Amino acid sequence: MLKDRLCYIDEYCQTFISRVVREEKDANGEWYVILENTAFYPTGGGQPHDTGTLNGIPVLNVEDVDGEIRHTVAEKLDSTIAEGVLDWGRRFDHMQQHAGQHILTAAFVELYDFQTVSFHLGNELCSIDLDVEKVTEEQLASVEKRANEIILKNIPIEKKWVTEAELEQYSLRKELKFTDEIRLVMIPDFDYNGCGGTHPSSTGQVISIKILATEKQKKKTRVHFACGGRVLQQLHRKNAILGKASQQLSAAEEGINDAITKLLGTNRSLEKSLEEAHETLLSYEVKDLLITKERNIVKALFKGRTIQQLQKLARLLVAGDEEVIALLVAENGDQLQFVAARGARSEVSMKQITKSVLPAINGKGGGNEGFVQGGGERTIPGEELLIIMEESSLNS
Ligand SMILES: [Zn+2]
């Protein structure tokens, strides 16, 4: 019977001795142990399994397979008796999170009639999904306050095995499917719920509940929270992050936001002046390049310039001199990229240039009669590519 399991007879049982029923290998070749009775909680009801040791051998996983509790162990026990020791820190943390979830869920129902449709107990944070699309900051604050009131009242958390007939006396938060064994977990006058998880003996042991964030999940709202020792962990972590930020910004904690706003403002104006400086520089570059034109052709080779930068420069060149043809090539790693553009008063076909260039570099490119761009492999030096482009434009 479920109710005879050690983890239900005494949820605070941390060590126990049991006869070993059998030891076998599972489908993955890992040893598992079946005990006559166990205080190890198997994964279920949103609560992760316990860990610990059996005869000093680590218990890696605990699962309920057809009513039998399998303890996956790091190696074979080879014993008829096992002494079980739970990792109590892990288990008690799970008890705090689980009871905290009951309290939080019940507070959402009590104050706003928001129902919880699922619960996740993660390694660092827990979450519940509420069947509503939107929860306001005020609602979250009220629920958090109510949940912490229930904790502070230190109400005994009662557990009771009941029959179907007895079940009718209780107004349950969620309807239960009837099974032979129903376990009620009750916080009198606040929450009555069917649950097979483990919980502390009173609400006070949850210590506190903190809602940390919400997230939209289609038509539901996910509420992330932490209970018990995890609240302190979160505080430590956030404190450390804030401390570092405060140090880097040379600002007091309360001034961090202002300091960031100021920093972002400075950054934006720096970006703007940098952009202006680039533009000025580019206009000088255009002038310098136009001076080098021979037979109306301006050509230049660059290293590490993007195709966008080449395009911009080419546009400025042909705008600066309408008779000019701009032939630009950039060597970028093992790639060669090019742009060819003509001024409004030139009639040379840029498409023709693409045609003569692409086979030499196994490249791809496109554009129109007045402006083309492309790129390919660096099979030849950039200078050579420029010569091909120049010859093509002189011959067309
Ligand atoms: Zn529970």
Q: Give the per-residue pLDDT at 178.
A: 60
21 C-alpha vs ligand 1 centroid, how far in Å?
29
User: Considering the entire predicted model, what is its pTM?
Assistant: 0.76
Mean pLDDT for 115-131 is 94
Separation of 121 CA from ligand 1 center, angstroms?
11
As given in the structure block, the two tokens for residue 64 are 């309920």
H or E element that contains 388: helix 382-395
What is the distance in A from the centroid of ligand 1 to the CA of 294?
85
The dihedral built from the CA positions of residue 191, 144, 47 and 73, taken in this order, carries a sign that is: negative
How far is the centre of ligand 1, averaged over its atoms, from the C-alpha of 7 (Å)? 13
Tell me, rounded to whole angstroms, the distance of Cα 341 from its chain centroid: 46
Question: Given the structure tokens 């034109």, which residue do they identify?
Answer: 293
Q: What is the mean pLDDT of residues 113-132?
A: 94
- If pLDDT is split at 50, 70 and 90, which confidence band does 176 have? low
The protein residues having their C-beta less than 5 angstroms from ligand 1 (an ion) are 98, 195, 197
Q: Average pLDDT for residues 96-110, to the nearest whole number?
A: 97
What is the CA(88)–ligand 1 centre distance, in A? Answer: 18
Residues above pLDDT 70, as percent of the chain: 99
User: Of 141, 161, 123, 150, which Cα lies nearest the Cα of 205?
Assistant: 150
Centre of ligand 1 from the C-alpha of residue 93, in Å: 13
The Å distance, Cα 235 to ligand 1 centre, comes to 25
Number of H helices, E strands in the chain: 9, 18
Q: What is the pLDDT of residues 244-287, one digit of tens each?
A: 999 999 999 999 999 999 999 999 999 999 999 999 999 999 99
Please give the distance, rounded to the nearest whole angstrom, from the Cα atom of residue 118 to the centre of ligand 1.
12
Q: CA-CA distance, 143 to 265, in Å (whole number)? A: 38
Residue 380: how many other CB atoms lie within 10 Å: 14
Q: What is the pLDDT of residue 170?
A: 80
